[in-house]
Structure 1
């Protein structure tokens, strides 16, 4: 294995034609240059120079190495420059895998902040529900994963094994009841889940649906699930049309504004914890650390914006 410092010195010897001139140019002693070239020849397994009068002549092996030396040093310089750019957040890429509600609300604000402060960085978004997002993280398909956990399922990392992951809690996302504007409970400050026992329901993804069914069981009834969809706009349209009611995460409220629907807090309060996950040891990488900080800031802004934010009545 060649030492890059020896390659750099070798290239200078080739340029100057002598150890003495190289020593003057690089600020070393002549014996130090001689020792470096002997070390390089040992690594190469063959002589690189022969004496030619007062100067040096390259052997065939030396000529071969000289042809590669410029490219080697150029590649090292390029790599060093790119690493400095990544460290200074001037370039780089980070892949984030998140569930649909986060991709529609939390991630756009995060990406906008990163792009404004560091236009050379590239943020790529993937979409998976947990625990599939954590699986994507473990398999190297993303650098960060956003996932949620609920009181009924426990921390989502437990479904996929949390060992080797670093978790950054971002926000507590309360559950809201989405009702048609003309519903008898639309004017209530809070709605108890048991009050909706006879309603037809619109349910979401399989993970959210499990939490929903468990919450209804605690309230003493089995919900009549008439529709199942992960599409927030479809949920809003179905509720607005009077086809049913739905439990929605608070973070989706900005997406669901409509004159024909209202959102009311659930009693007893329920919700989920939204967190960002990184592989242990990777959370300190400059780009990853930046994304984690920015996600945390965007989440704090979202919590402030949606706190006590019922949708307007018709």
Structure 2
């Protein structure tokens, strides 16, 4: 196994033409240069230099090694520069998976802050819902995933993942503007026991059934869809009401729909998940910090 310092010293001897000149250039003593070159020749297994008067002449093996040494040193320098770019956050790539409402709110704000301060850090976006999105981190197909969970839901987190809480997302009810409760500042779930419901993703449907069961009724689920725009359209047409997180409200686009918080308040927990060792990767740690900042801006909104 070659030592990098021996390769650099060899390259300097070739460049300057003598042990003494290489010693002056590198700040070593001449005996130290001699010892390094002897050690390198033992590693190679053949002489690399022949003395010609006061100068050193390369053997045939030495000439071949010199060509490799230049390539090795160039590669080492390039690697050091690239590693420095990563650690100084001039470069880097982070694969992030987010559920739709986080992808439409937290993620753009975090990426805008990231681009302003560290334009060399690239984020590759994926979309996915828990628990499948958690498996992506465990399997190495993404570096960070944003996921949500509800009180009472037992989350099966794969081994090796670290949960980083970001925010609590208050649950609201979407109502058509003509609904008798639309003028209220907040709505009790029991007041909607006789309504028809539009349910969302499987995890959200499970929570809806759980919340209603706690209050003694079973919701009449007329439609199910993961598409937020479809949910809004169905509510606007008076086909039902829907429970939705507050993160959805900023992109409420249908004029015939209003959102009202539940009373008493119900919330889901939004968190980031990463492999423990990825917390030490500078680019990943930076993206997590920007996500925390974006989430903190929405607390209480």
Q: CA deviation at 1:71?
A: 1.4
Q: CA deviation at 1:198?
A: 1.6
1:204 matched to which residue of 2? 200
Distance 2:101 2:43 in 1: 57
Write out aligned runs for 1:140-159 (5 A). Answer: 140-154=140-154, 156=155, 159=156
Q: CA deviation at 1:286?
A: 1.3
Distance 1:135 1:293 in 2: 22
Which shows bigger deviation, 168-177 or 283-292? 283-292
Write out aligned runs for 1:1-314 (5 A). Answer: 1-154=1-154, 156=155, 159-161=156-158, 163-304=159-300, 306=301
Distance 1:266 1:272 in 2: 12
Distance 2:257 2:222 in 1: 18
Cα deviation code 1:247-293 (max 9, x no counterpart): 00111110114321111111232121101111113213211111111
Which stretches of structure 1, 4 residues or longer, exceed 3 Å deviation after superposition? none
Q: Give the match's secondary structure for 1:281.
A: helix
Distance 1:268 1:303 in 2: 18
Distance 1:96 1:300 in 2: 19
Distance 1:83 1:99 in 2: 32
Q: Give the match's secondary structure for 2:277.
A: coil
8 Å contact from structure 1 (residues 232, 255) kept in 2: no
Distance 1:38 1:148 in 2: 63
CA-atom RMSD in angstroms = 1.4
Distance 1:202 1:43 in 2: 74
Which shows bigger deviation, 168-177 or 225-234? 225-234
Distance 1:11 1:226 in 2: 77
8 Å contact from structure 1 (residues 189, 264) kept in 2: yes
Q: CA deviation at 1:298?
A: 0.4
Q: How many residues align?
A: 301
Q: CA deviation at 1:129?
A: 0.6
8 Å contact from structure 1 (residues 178, 246) kept in 2: yes
TM-score, length of structure 2 as denominator length: 0.95
8 Å contact from structure 1 (residues 133, 145) kept in 2: yes
Q: Give the match's secondary structure for 2:229.
A: helix
Distance 1:34 1:257 in 2: 77
Distance 2:222 2:64 in 1: 75
Q: CA deviation at 1:164?
A: 1.9
Gaps of 5+ in 2: none
Gaps of 5+ in 1: 307-314
Q: CA deviation at 1:33?
A: 0.7
Q: CA deviation at 1:56?
A: 2.0
